[in-house]
């Protein structure tokens, strides 16, 4: 029986008892004990708050999968400065643990994924420090460790493709990633992995358009290179595209505020209950 199965088979009372003692596996198990929630368990905002609370507790207690899941949750759903910086901290911790050989065989994938996301965040520099060259090194290291990202899913592959496409430094700086061929490769795999029952059709359309634009850029660069022997990178175009990627819609902003308000209410309730 695995550790996860052991805790899944425990009674609610036993899980709560161990969680109150700071047991990292019990704290992680509380994420999934939604029967303890008050209110509407089908409400995605309330569900999100419940998961965030216990993911954070388990992550801070040292649970590896909780760190990985919570960090990815923070950067994908809650796009404010504090949350992105917190996510970067977890990714850095997991990456360091991987390098130090502290992760088990089952946990190593979390370390590699953390390297990729840390690299993405360093390339983007959105609400966090920006070091595009270091970010590129991390992504390329992870690429080598996984022997390519082909095994990953649609959303992840699209993110990697966009980073390879737009991961240039600020105008006037040296390029960090300038690999449009890899960008096209991963965007193409992402498009082929698209599942209409699960993924946003607008995203697929955007990826197809991005891929077509990149293919046109590659053709233009190759034509220039053959005519004058130079391989010029268009800094301003890449910088502007990266800025557009970082824009947040009003709907996403409203969801972020709703998530934060629900989490604040939950923290207050659990504090009254002695957590």
Of 66-80, 124-138, 203-217, 255-269, which has the strongest mean pLDDT? 255-269
Kindly tell me if the per-residue pLDDT of 20 is higher than 90.
Answer: yes
Confidence of residue 91 (pLDDT cuts 50, 70, 90): very high
Confidence of residue 53 (pLDDT cuts 50, 70, 90): very high
Q: HEC string of 198-255?
A: CCCHHHHHHHHHHHHHHHHHHHHHHHHHHHHCCCCCCHHHHHHHHHHHCCCCHHHHHH
Contacts of 85 (CB under 8 A, 6+ apart): 127, 128
Backbone angles phi, psi at 101, to 5 degrees: 70, 25
Kindly tell me if the per-residue pLDDT of 103 is higher than 90.
Answer: yes
The pLDDT, as a whole number, for residue 235 is 43
* Spatial contact of 262 and 46, defined as CB atoms under 8 Å apart: yes
Q: Which residue has the higher pLDDT, 153 or 274?
A: 274
* Spatial contact of 153 and 182, defined as CB atoms under 8 Å apart: no
Question: Which tokens go with 243?
Answer: 């800025």
Neighbour tally for 46: CB within 10 Å = 21
The pLDDT, as a whole number, for residue 17 is 96
* Spatial contact of 36 and 26, defined as CB atoms under 8 Å apart: no
Cα separation, 167 vs 178, in Å, equals: 7
pLDDT per residue over 162-176, tens digit each? 666 665 445 455 544
Pick from 110-119, 140-149, 160-169, 235-244: least confident: 235-244
Dihedral of alpha carbons 128, 133, 136, 142, sign: negative
Kindly tell me if the per-residue pLDDT of 52 is higher than 60.
Answer: yes
Dihedral of alpha carbons 229, 185, 111, 204, sign: positive
Of 100-109, 131-140, 255-264, which has the strongest mean pLDDT? 100-109
Backbone angles phi, psi at 273, to 5 degrees: -85, 5
């Amino acid at each position: 029986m695995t550790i996860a199965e052991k805790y899944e088979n425990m009674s609610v009372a036993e899980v709560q008892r161990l969680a109150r003692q700071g047991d990292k596996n019990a704290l992680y198990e509380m994420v999934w004990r939604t029967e303890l929630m008050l209110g509407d368990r089908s409400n995605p905002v309330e569900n999100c708050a419940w998961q965030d609370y216990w993911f954070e507790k388990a992550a801070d207690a040292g649970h590896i999968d909780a760190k990985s899941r919570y960090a990815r949750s923070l950067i994908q759903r809650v796009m404010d400065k504090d949350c992105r910086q917190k996510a970067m901290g977890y990714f850095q911790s997991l990456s360091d643990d991987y390098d130090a050989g502290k992760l088990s065989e089952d946990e190593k994938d979390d370390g590699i994924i953390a390297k990729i996301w840390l690299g993405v965040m360093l390339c983007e520099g959105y609400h966090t420090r920006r070091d595009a060259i270091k970010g590129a090194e991390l992504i390329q290291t992870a690429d080598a460790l996984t022997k390519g990202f082909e095994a990953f899913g649609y959303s992840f592959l699209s993110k990697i493709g966009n980073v390879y496409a737009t991961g240039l430094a600020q105008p006037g700086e040296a390029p960090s990633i300038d690999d449009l061929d890899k960008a096209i490769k991963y965007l193409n795999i992402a498009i082929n992995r698209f599942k209409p029952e699960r993924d946003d059709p607008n995203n697929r359309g955007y990826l197809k358009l991005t891929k077509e634009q990149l293919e046109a850029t590659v053709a233009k660069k190759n034509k220039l290179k053959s005519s004058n022997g130079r391989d010029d990178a268009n800094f301003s175009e890449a910088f502007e595209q990266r800025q557009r990627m970082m824009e947040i819609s009003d709907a996403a902003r409203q969801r972020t505020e709703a998530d934060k308000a629900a989490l604040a209410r939950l923290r207050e309730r659990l504090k009254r209950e002695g957590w």
